[in-house]
Structure 1
Amino acid sequence: MFSWLARITLACWRPVSRYARMNKDNNNSNNDELEEDSSSLSNSLLWCRDLEKHSYGDFSYAVVQANEIIEDYSQVETGNDATFVGVYDGHGGPDASRFISDHLFQNLLRLAQANGTISEDILRSAFSATEDGFLTLVRRTCGIKPLIAAIGSCCLVGVIWRGTLYIANLGDSRAVIGYLGRSNKIVAEQLTKDHNASIEEVRQELRSLHPDDSHIVVMKHGAWRIKGIIQVSRSIGDAYLKRPEFSLDPSFPRFHLSEPIRQPVLTAEPSLCTRELKPSDKFLIFASDGLWEHLTNQQAVEIVYNYPRAGIARRLIKTALNEAARKREMRYEDLKKVDKGIRRFFHDDITVVVVFIDHESLSTKMSVPELSVRGFVDTIGPSNFNIL
């Protein structure tokens, strides 16, 4: 069936370079296989920055599109004394993830500069301000665009400042650190919790918060879903599952609730993690769940550890796409030619940022470009990331 679908898609395939641009300014990899793949993917929904500098080392960045309209937004902000990474995996449309990309970093920067520091409280407040801002937008526009009340986004943020890593997360994007363990073997450690109803712990949490609602989580279409609709339990947006005034008309059956909510079903309260970076900590992987559907944490860190830095985010995406094709009994070469929209039957939008930690840079004041890099839209410019 899938090979038939691929042949039909190939027959009507059209160039998509106007939607995705491959940036080759920094492609220093001398790996012929990856370079050939880069060339063949340049017109097939992939965007990347193979290697850039940040305050404490290098980073590699790649995004591949699957949806008709990409719902993954992301950014890296580099300053002289700090590095910011944000991955925003939207659902229901791009409005929430795009809004987060435009506002969350600015909210964080405003709060950090006002307090002269980065902390878990600062991150929590930046998430809250972003949620409030998006719900205000929903309130203003739902009269002409009611479905905006059903648009939301996962949100994963990491900040490195003064040798400390701060992470805040909503949803099922994931941050994983690779560190050297015994016998100098690379070990994966997951730094975030997946807020997804497929996990028993999350279902138990939801049931304890909603003891009078026997339908708070139900199995539907082969997966555990909150109210039979959504899998992630924390997000920015999804206003119709948080505020009674945003309940959607029954004419939208996909988002129809059998009765008005009496309390928020989802929350925008992030889970937080602080880690003093140690000499054994070598790199971080920030990625939307599209990567983790196809790779384990350990598989991902071993790929990063065993291959050159340049193009490593792209290599992780290529490996995930190979696995997605294998699961559908397709060849990878055929999957690369499947167009956006139809591509979503095979894999999700995928964003990957790999941040290398060079510990000599943690103790040495290095001058690096202050860059703001936005994933996929290929927006690159100066950053104002200065906390003090």
Structure 2
Amino acid sequence: MCQILICTTYTINSWLARESGTISEDVVRNAFSATENGFLALVRRMREFKPLIAAVGSCCLVGVIWRGTLYVANVGDSRAVIGCLGRSNKIVAEQLTRDHNASVEEVRQELRSLHPDDSHIVVLKHGVWRIKGIIQVSRSIGDAYLKKPEFSVDPSVQRFRLSEPLRRPVLTAEPSLYTRVLCPQDKFLIFASDGLWEHLTNQQAVEIVHNYPRAGIARRLVKRALEEAARKREMSYADLKKLDKGIRRFFHDDITVIVIFIDHELLQESNPSIPELSIRGFTDAVMPSTFSVLDGIT
């Protein structure tokens, strides 16, 4: 599954923010809805060329700091953690997001309550809880074949095969939202995909960020997680790095990390001078795309 991590301060490059002139939970929620609807529209247009695009999905984690207030929203199991100074100036981790993963008992109970007539809504498969025996996350962008019958995947593709036709959505793109007025004790935010949290606890991660220089800190977190992944397999970090990417997938999940340091003096400025970063992906079209995530999908 792909990972989308978005962190922004003061401005959002979307018509949603421009139209409203402010940021709120509703604006962030609408941004998720627009992203989901836009991707499903792409799936409809692309299925003729790339049938398995209906099985492409992503976690999504968004953070916005607007006028001293932090807004965080997520679908999937990417996680936002804030590092706060506690008593005796000890750094303390606080998880801001909810993991939408079937490994969490609360998530399994939620799914069972939503699907009381489906005894296979969550299945323990090879020691891992999965929704319909296929996917671990209960919320995502995409994964259209688990949301709408019109996007059903050829049952001959075993990986995405459902035991019975889809009657109603088993996944949703509805985000969990969290709002927090930042205080001087809030020092930094870590946004990371589940690959990091499989090997580092929240507290371990914030202590690394707190105790090392800012420069290269996200890379340091990734390296520490990979070192732990190697240790669990009784191998060295150097040997792990030598493995082919296709093989490494069996040793650790993809890891994406963003660290945001909260400079409170800057937050108090009405028009801070902050460079804006814009990343543009492929241009939406009805013709086949060369977007790399679709490579190998036929």
Tell me if TM exceeds 0.5. Answer: yes
After TM superposition, list the pairs within 5 Å mapping 1:300-319 onto structure 2: 300-319=205-224
Distance 2:124 2:31 in 1: 34
1:352 Cα shift? Answer: 0.5
SS at the partner of 1:341? helix
1:76 Cα shift? Answer: 5.0
1:367 matched to 2:266? The reply is no
1:374 Cα shift? Answer: 7.9
1:147 Cα shift? Answer: 1.0
Could you tell me whether the CA contact under 8 Å between 2:2 and 2:59 is conserved in 1?
A: no
Question: What is residue 275 of structure 1 aligned with on the other side?
Answer: 180
Distance 2:77 2:258 in 1: 15
SS at the partner of 2:123? strand
1:324 matched to 2:229? The reply is yes
Question: What is residue 290 of structure 1 aligned with on the other side?
Answer: 195
Question: What is residue 252 of structure 1 aligned with on the other side?
Answer: 157
Distance 1:373 1:280 in 2: 32
Distance 1:221 1:374 in 2: 39
1:363 Cα shift? Answer: 1.3
Distance 1:288 1:355, change over 3 A: same
1:143 Cα shift? Answer: 2.5
After TM superposition, list the pairs within 5 Å mapping 1:28-43 onto structure 2: none
1:150-191, Cα deviation, whole Å (9 max, x unpaired): 110000000011001001100000000000111211100000
Could you tell me whether the CA contact under 8 Å between 1:75 and 1:373 is conserved in 2?
A: no
Could you tell me whether the CA contact under 8 Å between 1:77 and 1:373 is conserved in 2?
A: no
Distance 1:130 1:213 in 2: 29
1:74 Cα shift? Answer: 4.5
Distance 2:78 2:256 in 1: 9
1:117-173, Cα deviation, whole Å (9 max, x unpaired): 001100111111111111111111212322111110000000011001001100000
What percentage of aligned pairs have identical amino acids?
Answer: 78
Could you tell me whether the CA contact under 8 Å between 1:178 and 1:188 is conserved in 2?
A: yes
1:73 Cα shift? Answer: 5.0
Give the length in aligned residue pairs.
Answer: 280
SS at the partner of 2:83? strand
Query: Which segments of 5 or more consecutive residues in structure 1 lack a partner in the other structure?
Result: 1-69, 83-104, 376-388
Larger relative CO (CA 8 A, sep 6+): 1 or 2?
1
SS at the partner of 2:224? helix
* TM-score between both structures, scaled by the size of structure 1: 0.69
Distance 1:212 1:368 in 2: 52
Q: Comparing 243-252 with 117-126, which one deviates more in the overlay? A: 243-252
RMSD over aligned Cα, in angstroms? 1.7
Question: What is residue 140 of structure 2 aligned with on the other side?
Answer: 235
Distance 1:265 1:285 in 2: 29
2:119 maps to which of 214, 224, 229: 214
Distance 1:342 1:77 in 2: 34
Distance 1:171 1:182, change over 3 A: same
After TM superposition, list the pairs within 5 Å mapping 1:103-182 onto structure 2: 106=13, 109-182=14-87
1:235-270, Cα deviation, whole Å (9 max, x unpaired): 011111100111122211221112212211000000
Q: Comparing 326-335 with 198-207, which one deviates more in the overlay? A: 326-335
